[in-house]
Amino acid sequence: MVNLPPSSTRIIPDTASIPRHIAIIMDGNGRWAKQRFLPRVAGHQRGVEALREVVKACRELGVKYLTVFAFSSENWRRPAEEVTFLMSLFMKMLEREAVKLHENNIRLKIIGDRSRFDDKLNQTMREAEQLTANNSALTLTVAANYGGRWDVMQAVSAMLRDHPHLAQTFTEEDLQSYLSMSDAPEPDLFIRTGGEQRISNFMLWQLAYTELYFTGTLWPAFDRNELDKAIAWYQQRERRFGRTSEQLEAQQSAGRGNA
């Protein structure tokens, strides 16, 4: 496993630089379509194009991890035909994009409960992950049938299966390696498009100290310029992780970023 700090709350990242990890809730596809008198699924289709542009921009900017919410564990509640469309769009995207991601040295990872996906989709997901497994420019993680609570629960179960003695007492570090995003630093910047100001069961554990950016822009309209705006906003934040501003200033003038 890559030896990254388990928690970004220990090390203060330099906000002047590009965020290492950006997590996005790509929301507003349905409303984007509705505004244009199109079916909701047309919004999902355009959403894939927006994702393509954001992946390219992150790769160019030097973002190391991009994690996007594609389908939540709650999205099964949608009309059956929309769910079916989203599954086939996901399948097509994997088939079409895996090679392009590979050519661009991008690693693709999928997180979430795969047990509800059919065998063919599971196989396509595995193949895309295997093809890109050794790429290093950017890790694109797609959260599909993912829920933050599911993630914590599956991590606890897996940890106790491996180490039954931990049932009495365990630490955050014990749990850490069983969480879906264990090989990535926690997100520095979270973006939610579409105007809602909620987490909707996205990375509950990992977002503990992430800077949260909300924009009314609907996902299909989110482009490079919108991403630049979000990053510029992030770069104005002061990340304190519980400390005071004065402590941070003292550390900076002493030439030490971390404590």
The catalytic residue among 27, 29, 145, 188 is 27
Q: Work out how close the CB of 180 gets to ligand IPE at its nearest, in angstroms, rounded to a whole number.
A: 15
Q: Which is nearer to ligand IPE, 41 or 184 (CB)?
A: 41
Q: Work out how close the CB of 145 gets to ligand IPE at its nearest, in angstroms, rounded to a whole number.
A: 10
Radius of gyration of the chain (CA): 19
Report the partner that residue 243 touches, choosing among Mg ion, ligand IPE, none (CB closer than 5 to 8 A by kind): none
The catalytic residue among 3, 14, 29, 75 is 75
Using CA atoms, how far apart are residues 240 and 8, in angstroms rounded to an integer? 11
β-pair partners for 215: none
The answer to whether 185 and 152 are in contact (CB under 8 A) is no
Using CA atoms, how far apart are residues 232 and 236, in angstroms rounded to an integer? 7
Q: Is 27 a catalytic residue?
A: yes
Q: Which is nearer to ligand IPE, 28 or 187 (CB)?
A: 28
Q: Work out how close the CB of 219 gets to Mg ion at its nearest, in angstroms, rounded to a whole number.
A: 9
Residue 201 CB partners (closer than 8 Å, separation 6+): 72, 73, 74, 147, 148, 149
Q: Is 6 helix (H, G, I), strand (E, B) or coil?
A: coil
User: By CB under 6 A, is residue 217 in contact with ligand IPE?
Assistant: no
β-pair partners for 214: 192
User: By CB under 5 A, is residue 27 in contact with Mg ion?
Assistant: yes
Binders of ligand IPE among residues 173 to 202 (CB under 6 A) are 194, 196, 198, 200
Q: Work out how close the CB of 71 gets to ligand IPE at its nearest, in angstroms, rounded to a whole number.
A: 5
Using CA atoms, how far apart are residues 153 and 173, in angstroms rounded to an integer? 15
CA neighbours closer than 13 Å in the CB half-sphere of residue 181: 31
Q: Is 113 a catalytic residue?
A: no
Cβ-closest position to ligand IPE? 30
The answer to whether 155 and 195 are in contact (CB under 8 A) is no
Binders of ligand IPE among residues 58 to 77 (CB under 6 A) are 69-72, 75
* Residue positions annotated with a catalytic role: 27, 75
Residues engaged in binding ligand IPE (CB under 6 A)? 25-31, 69-72, 75, 86, 194, 196, 198, 200
Residues engaged in binding Mg ion (CB under 5 A)? 27
